[in-house]
Amino acid sequence: MMPNMTWDVAQRSLVFNLLRAGMRRKGTRPILWAGAGLSIPAGYPSLDKLAEGFRERQLNPLSSTLSGQALLDEYARTHTEGDFEQTLSELLPPRLALDYHVQLVGLPWAAIVTTSYDNLLEDACLRSGTAFVTIIPDRNVNVSTDNVLPIYKPHGDISDYRKVVLTGNSYSVFDSRYKVLKEELEGLWRRHPIVFFGCSMRDPRLLDWLRSMRADQLRQLRTSATILRQSAWESLSEEERSLLASANVHPVFAPDYDQISVLIQNLYSEFGQAPRPRSDFGIPRTNAFYIDREGYGSRISHSRPN
């Protein structure tokens, strides 16, 4: 099938309609599910490039035939936890949010879920004066999210490299170790539509959860949308595409990657919420970002011009 060179009007309208419905009734506001694809333009590597970065830093021999997740698993088996943490910290240093990250967090989401390890969305919140709390495994799972934007990070983040969910083993222990967070994430999707940005739609936890549901339960999930290239959708297996369709997840094909940031800008033009003054949070205008150990955006450290 030839890729679309322009947006499909009906597909694109679905994203706008989900946000419009949420504006009319707060309880139906969609969830933003932000994948690693949103972090690449800011300088972070894709999974394959991250794995190759581990290969370049190998201390013990790694198989030349492995790539991606399999290569990361091999590194974890043949190196110490300290080696893994040090390499990960070198490959995922703190970076600053781009304009489209700031626009994204300014949209009327009920919450944000991100499978990225970086703090780009938190930095975006601080730039825009958006009050937020970061919820990761072992931190803030039971805190109140009234009047703040909750940012769920089930894979962990770079504030603690030891606890990121990246290897196959760490994926396998997530469900048993972080039951409360898993149940909270599942409840979010049952109550809200999801808009996926920057996601390959291959997250094993997402797909395995859908596979565990009965057909009648899948039909009860809210209508959702995933914005991605048509080639990315077609790279999924037939079973994966069918599974997502049964969960009411509709693909919205982007003509190219640049058009995704244009879509975000257009959404912000219609739905962007006026940020509260930074002084409301004690955030100096000339600084960038710092997340305190409880996960709240409260003060900053890197220099940034107005």
Q: Is the pLDDT of residue 274 over 80?
A: no
* DSSP-derived secondary structure for 226-279: EEE-HHHHHHS-HHHHHHHHHTTEEEEE-SSHHHHHHHHHHHHHHHPPPPPPGG
How confident is the prediction for the chain on average, in pLDDT? 81
Residues 64 and 150 in one domain: no
- Residue range 153-191, pLDDT digits in tens: 887 776 654 555 554 454 455 455 556 666 777 788 889
Asked whether residue 276 is domain-assigned, the answer is no
- Residue range 23-75, pLDDT digits in tens: 998 888 999 999 989 999 999 998 889 999 999 999 999 999 998 888 988 98
Domain end residue (candidates: 66, 91, 116): 91
Length of the chain: 306
CA–CA–CA angle 47, 48, 50 (5° rounding) = 65
* 239 exposure class (CB count in 10 Å sphere: 0-12, 13-18, 19+): exposed
Residues 167 and 123 in one domain: yes
* 135 exposure class (CB count in 10 Å sphere: 0-12, 13-18, 19+): buried
Domain of residue 216 covers 9-42+98-271
C-beta separation of 210 from 244 below 8 A? yes
Asked whether residue 3 is domain-assigned, the answer is no
Residues 158 and 266 in one domain: yes
C-beta separation of 152 from 114 below 8 A? yes
Residues 35 and 132 in one domain: yes
The pTM of the full predicted model, rounded to 2 decimals, is 0.81
The predicted model gives 265-294 an average pLDDT of 55
Residues 20 and 73 in one domain: no
Residues 37 and 143 in one domain: yes
Q: Which of 238, 226, 240, 267 is nearest to 102 (CA)?
A: 267
Residues 215 and 79 in one domain: no
Distance CA 20, CA 132 (A): 22
Asked whether residue 2 is domain-assigned, the answer is no
Residue with tokens 């909270």, as numbered in its chain: 184
Residues 79 and 102 in one domain: no
Enumerate the β-bridge partners of residue 111.
31
- Residue range 220-257, pLDDT digits in tens: 999 999 999 999 999 999 999 999 999 999 999 999 99
Question: In this structure, what CATH number is given to the domain that contains residue 182?
Answer: 3.40.50
Q: What percent of the chain has pLDDT over 90?
A: 49
Asked whether residue 279 is domain-assigned, the answer is no
Residues 58 and 168 in one domain: no
Residues 55 and 179 in one domain: no
Q: What are phi and psi of 114, to 5 degrees?
A: -130, 135
Q: Which of 30, 36, 38 is nearest to 257 (CA)?
A: 38
Asked whether residue 108 is domain-assigned, the answer is yes
SS3 state at 94? coil
How many other C-beta atoms are found inside a 10 Å radius of the C-beta of residue 178? 20
Domain count, the chain: 2
Alpha carbon separation from 56 to 30, 234, 250 (Å, rounded): 40, 31, 38
Residues 171 and 232 in one domain: yes
